[in-house]
Amino acid sequence: MFLYNTLTKKQEELKPHNKEEVKIYTCGPTVYHYAHIGNLRTYIFEDILVKALRFCGYKVKRVMNITDVGHMTSDADTGEDKMLKGASREHKTVYEVADFYTKAFLSDMAKLNIEKPEILVPASENIDMYIQMIQKLLDTGYAYISNGNVYFDVSKVSNYYELSGKNQEELMVGVRDTVTFDTYKRNPFDFGLWFVSSKFENQAMKWDSPWGTGYPGWHIECSGISIKYLGEYLDIHCGGVDNIFPHHTNEIAQSESYLGHKWCNIWMHGEHLNDKNGKMSKSNGEFLTLSLLEEKGYTSLVYRLFCLQSHYRNQLVFSYETMDLTKKTYEKLLNKIKNIKENISNNDINIELTNIYKEKFKKSLNNDLNTSNCLTILYDVLKDEKLSNKNKIELVKDFDTVLSLDLLAEKKVDTSLEKYILEMIEKRKKAKENKNYALADQIRNELLEKNIILNDGRNGTTFEIKQ
């Protein structure tokens, strides 16, 4: 498999340390709010990677963290603590916020058919590992204590700028106006490993450490969790492009200094989903969630297809116009497959042709996860007259182990969409009881616009979704 490696800036053949099993670490969500659909794009790309590797015969071990402590709004060590921000917004404890948004994240993942990573761990449950790493970094001179906090000294590593491909001056340009540098650091890009003195006096999550009661920095979480669960050698590390600097840059610096050798061979980064105004981001306040899309009549898998139509390394601009087109494409595709499935007249399998298609599909995946080409191959299969209908369905089943678009599933109603429709039906019933017929009609029309038809019967109102 050939994958684009941010570290070397070229496509490279994957050569896992253990030939049979690929070890992957994927940075997880900071659970202070819902994931926006941009975040979900990154998780979809990672899901495709895992499934593509399996399609190509590898076993995969994937680990993901849940960031519930230590992440500041600036990604460097300044700004507000994201978890505290969530807690004060919702008048809840940090623990309640983390629990609520972790569940919301898992539900989004399930709706998008994203496989749950084999190991998914909250950052707050691995404190011993960070303490052990930080102690070694202090003992070996890579870290220092200043104003009570422990910092990593980036001047001690010669390859600090390799991943970003930018030097200190170039990186400073991006952050100079937005980040106030901590004056206790020796170099501007030094980063916190352990915070004791914090401007967040109300920091809820604190642990004892050799350097005082405090909490870990964000970057050490991913290094610690990865090394603890996947060992000293990692094959692939993923995230969105905004993770390249400082997060992944700092992960490499501390992990390799701790281990004393190269840590991870391939670094893969998903490009951003933008809206008309630029990068979609939670700190902007307004952002699109999967539930919002569902309320507007787009199922989660329409969004998955929307993402798969373009390459993960290309920026993607979100628009409702494109979502409408994708919705139509998805419905047509499902109908086409349903039609084929209902018209199987023999069980003929053309083995030679089947293998050719499978190889083509594999080749597209091997070419840095070219999912849009995989979709083209799927269409080629559906219209190939040399394949029996049975043969086509078998190939669709096979391809869907990677695409995960429920191509063969009986039409199922999205549970959250169903919830929304039932709420609307209830609201309409109340409106009719109150003789507010205008509102009742408005609700019916609103649903109709989303292709949802209400049928009033003797036993109440039922609904159907038009294809």
Which positions lie near Zn ion, rule CB under 5 A?
27, 222
3-state secondary structure 1-51: CEEEECCCCEEEECCCCECCEEEEEECCCECCCCCCHHHHHHHHHHHHHHH
> From the list 5, 7, 25, 30, which residue makes contact with ligand AMP (rule: CB under 6 A)?
30
Tell which residue, 172, 451, 167, has the closest CA to residue 328. Answer: 451
CB 219, CB 94: distance < 8 Å: no
> From the list 109, 280, 293, 452, which residue makes contact with ligand AMP (rule: CB under 6 A)?
280
The yes or no reply on residue 240 touching ligand AMP (CB under 6 A) is yes
> From the list 85, 237, 272, 450, which residue makes contact with ligand AMP (rule: CB under 6 A)?
272
Angle 273-32-323 from CA coordinates, rounded to 5°: 30
Q: Which residues, 89 to 118, sit near ligand AMP by CB under 6 A?
A: none
Helix (H, G, I), strand (E, B) or coil at 317: strand
We find the least distance from the C-beta atom of residue 251 to Zn ion, in angstroms, to be: 6
* Nearer Cβ to Zn ion (193/222): 222
The yes or no reply on residue 39 touching ligand AMP (CB under 6 A) is yes
The CA-atom distances, in angstroms, between 208 and each of 96, 127, 136, 454 are 22, 9, 17, 59
Q: Interacting stretch for ligand AMP, rule CB under 6 A, among 35-43, 110-118, 145-153, 404-412?
A: 35-43
The yes or no reply on residue 249 touching ligand AMP (CB under 6 A) is no
The yes or no reply on residue 42 touching ligand AMP (CB under 6 A) is yes
* Nearer Cβ to ligand AMP (16/240): 240
CB 195, CB 146: distance < 8 Å: no
CB atoms within 10 A of CB 446: 13
From the list Zn ion, ligand AMP, none, which binds 242 (C-beta under 5 to 8 Å, kind-based)? ligand AMP
Element (H, E) at 439: helix 437-449
Q: Interacting stretch for ligand AMP, rule CB under 6 A, among 39-47, 204-212, 397-405, 424-432?
A: 39-47
Residue number, nearest CB to ligand AMP: 240
Token pair recorded at residue 72: 């500041």
- Residues β-bridged to residue 461: 456
* Nearer Cβ to Zn ion (55/130): 130
The yes or no reply on residue 65 touching ligand AMP (CB under 6 A) is no
Helix (H, G, I), strand (E, B) or coil at 440: helix
The yes or no reply on residue 226 touching ligand AMP (CB under 6 A) is no
From the list Zn ion, ligand AMP, none, which binds 363 (C-beta under 5 to 8 Å, kind-based)? none
- Residues β-bridged to residue 274: 279, 317
The yes or no reply on residue 38 touching ligand AMP (CB under 6 A) is yes
| Residue 207 burial (10 A CB sphere; 0-12, 13-18, 19+) | middle
The yes or no reply on residue 239 touching ligand AMP (CB under 6 A) is yes
Which stretches of 230-357 are assigned E, i.e. beta strand? 234-240, 264-270, 273-275, 278-279, 316-317
From the list ligand AMP, Zn ion, none, which binds 222 (C-beta under 5 to 8 Å, kind-based)? Zn ion
The yes or no reply on residue 374 touching ligand AMP (CB under 6 A) is no
CB 271, CB 169: distance < 8 Å: no
* Nearer Cβ to ligand AMP (29/216): 29
We find the least distance from the C-beta atom of residue 27 to Zn ion, in angstroms, to be: 3
The site for ligand AMP (CB under 6 A) is made up of 27, 29-30, 38-39, 41-42, 239-240, 242-243, 270, 272-273, 279-281
